[in-house]
A and B are shown apart, each in its own frame.
Chain A
Amino acid sequence: MSMQIRPILASLRKHRIPAILIVLEIALACAVLCNAVFMIGQRVSDIRLPNAIDQAGLSSIEVQGTDPKQAGDDIPRNLAALRAIAGVKAVTAMNALPLTNYTWNGGLSTHPDKDMLNKRIVGMQEYLYTAGGGKALGLKVLQGRFFNADESAGSKLDSFMPAGHVVLITQSLARKFWPHGSAVGKMLYLGDKFSYTVVGVVADVLRPNRSGQGEQSFYYSAFFPLQPNDSALSTYVVRSAPADRDRVLREGIKALSTLAPNAVVKGRTFSDIRDKYFADMRSMAWMLVLVCAVMLAVTAFGIVGLTSFWVGQRRRQIGIRRAVGATRGQILGYFRTENFLLSTAGVLIGMLLAFGINLYLMQHYEMSRMPWYYLPTGAVTLWLLGQLAVLGPALRAASVSPVEATRSA
């Protein structure tokens, strides 16, 4: 093969422009491909983000338009009605659920601070739930424990912060506050008025939407107990076996609509909530996949077109080579090597370009850095594509008969 490189280079020098065009095409395709695949990868990992609640078994029923003053009677009555449905394992009333875009943000710090000048306040989602909510959601306790009955019964809202003194936090939040050592038993504060003891650390649960900076902050969630008498608790969460879920949800909606005829009652399964939240991302990922596929096809056809032209132009030279003893395999090898050289030049430029585009996007559009392995992966893809595209024209070249040498062009 190496024997052939010099004549190939000589020939490429003569056909400089078509050669440059192929290199340019491969370079651009490589650059766009790397960045597009990187974006697809980010979408897919977003869609698959773990969320440590019983996602398959949960449904939520939203009740709106009831008298807030009646909440103390309504909530226990509604919870009892839901609990009575066959197949229901656990129920709780909450202020919000993950991925619903209904946020309830707060900020806590490891030190009490009257004026809250503390720069170490960490923003987080506050989930409030009634007794047994941890089990109903299917939270996974990693350290410590759930709230006990006294803690749940004793907590009411005091200007939008729970007045109870206990909190459950996610693992990511625990690590943010205490990078070393256990969080259980430690204290968290809001100003100097509210203080909470961390009674447990649970596996990561997503917030209602992505807010704040960085991947990890999507997991900054804290859970507080609340007694069932506040109108903020308008989301009823019902847990059942996945097989019972749809029926339980239907019956639940019916039960709550009967109890509150003037209220607006709406229900969704958690799977639907999650699907809806990520629907745009999924569509975007598919669109990018489509763009990539079409682009690769266009590039491949471009290589086919240019190489065919090339082969057509050199039929006579190929004939001469065949006449002086070159085998079909050698002719095939010639065109494949030529394509390999062009592809190599293309992907080298392409990788640089891809890196540059990524830097530009990072600077202007809050994209993250592309991991290095996207570059060689994109390069290998285009190499293979080039070899595949050149195969047809190269085979046609190999089938040129030695007689061509005797014909005038």
Chain B
Amino acid sequence: MFAYYLQLGLRSLRRNPALTALMVIAIGFGVAASMTTYAVFRAVSGDPIPDKSAQLFKPQIDNWGHQHGRTSDEPPNAMDYTDAMALMRAHKAEKQTVSFPIGPSLIPADSSAMPINVVGFATYADFFSMFEVPFKYGGAWPASDDAQHASTVVINAKLNQRLFGGSNSVGKSINLEGHDYRIAGVTDNWNPQPRFYDVVNGGGFSTPPQIYIPFSRAIDLQMQTFGNNSCNGPGGRGDSFADYLRSDCVWLSYWAQLPTAAAVASYRSYLQAYAADQQRAGRFHWAPNIRLRNVMQWLDYQKVVPPETQVSLLLSLGFLVVCLVNTIGLLLAKFMRRAPEIGIRRALGASRREIYAQFLAEAAMVGVAGGLLGLLLTALGVLGVGLVFESQIARLARVDPALIGLTLLVAIVATVIAALYPTWRASRVQPAWQLKSN
């Protein structure tokens, strides 16, 4: 019976192609607009490391207080060197790392070639296992390299391609700002988005890091952070690098891996105790003020999803509603025009329920057609967003099976919802009245 209804529906839709086209276009555009913005929204608000986001924590310690005109109750969003090193030495978490962005110039072995700027991080060996960095060749440097301030480096596959033609380069050397570094590993493609481990620099969406070197080595070489540095108060950075390390300037990103709730609780009390110690020692003139946020809480706190994206998502939903109301009107017009036909079917014995099923099937066909058109337009929209928009965000939006399924589902569900009232009206047609007036 259902197949027969579909056949009837198709016949009826063909009868006035203009009206049918209008409905399909309305649904197609409405669905495409909301799905395109949703694709962008999904790209920026997703969980970058789903299996571990609840285990990775970002400790914050308030080393500024309300001094120097500062009014915020939130601790700074990065850490100063003193606190980061104290936490690192205490080694209270299962794994932990401190990092900061670096941007040294890489001097090619071939002296006639131009040096290139590379970006990456100075960090600890735990970084790679904590953030599940995949390796193509070799692996993370051993923890002993951190202790020995070794000149060792991990590079990414793309840089490896450029420098060594993609061959296994483990054991070879590269020169960064005049110092040789031995390659310990080559990472495979890895660029979780949003870039949760370094949200503060680059707003959470940036190009993948190309190199990683031991933190201790970078400090020895007095490398400056390539990212943000914030100082509070007139002391600033001080005059020398040693002054800088002693200053209250925050520029370091600290992460701890805490696999269980008990570990989180004990780490929290450790931070509290640490800040209290600092207060007793006279370094902090305020009560301990600490935070311990996991990945998703941190991203939320840092407002990684730009409000722009959310507003345009809302706007597109509004647009979808306009299209739906429009579809309700058009379906109503279409179905009511066929009141005589309905009258005849009812007189011949069709029940209300059967009329209902017939027209709902017809509406669903409009929904499928609208969904297909919407899919095409969404693909175009996502492509357009990727081409037109400058930012990293736009490049993340993509069409995948989930988006395709959702687009079709939204289109069909929306159309069927839009069809409920017109269909109900159609099923209420009084057969006697229709037959009489004919």
Contacts and interface: CB of A to CB of B under 8 A. Distances in A.
Chain A interface size, as a band, is 35 or more
Interface stretch (A78-86, A235-243, A361-369): A361-369
Contacts of B310: 365
Interface string B401-438: 00000000000000000000100010000000000011
B231 A193 contact: no
A18 interface: yes
A148 to B, nearest CB: 27
B319 A25 contact: no
Given A116-B68, A291-B33, A262 B330 contact: no
Given A118-B69, A121-B69, A306-B330, A39 B318 contact: no
Interface stretch (A47-55, A275-283, A333-341, A395-403): A275-283
Interface residues of B, number: 62
A28 B68 contact: no
A352 interface: no
B425 A306 contact: no
A381 to B, nearest CB: 14
Interface string A285-322: 01110010011001101101110111011000000000
B67 A115 contact: yes
Contacts of B385: 283, 287
Contacts of B30: 298
Contact of B234 (A22, A65, A116): A116
Contact of A32 (B104, B322, B391, B394): B322
A326 interface: no
Contacts of B322: 25, 28-29, 32, 295, 298-299
A18 B389 CA distance: 41
B68 A32 contact: no
Nearest to B340: A409
B390 A367 contact: no
Contacts of A361: 311, 314
A305 B318 contact: no
Contact of A306 (B177, B315, B333): B333
Interface in B1-32: 19, 22, 25-26, 29-30
A291 B319 CA distance: 8
B107 A294 contact: no
B234 A298 contact: no
A5 interface: no
B328 interface: yes
7 contacts: A21-B325, A24-B325, A65-B117, A158-B239, A280-B394, A291-B316, A298-B322
Interface of B: 19, 22, 25-26, 29-30, 33, 67-69, 71, 103-105, 107, 114-117, 177, 231, 233-239, 243, 307-308, 310-312, 314-316, 318-319, 321-323, 325-326, 328-330, 332-334, 336-337, 385, 388-391, 394, 421, 425, 437-438
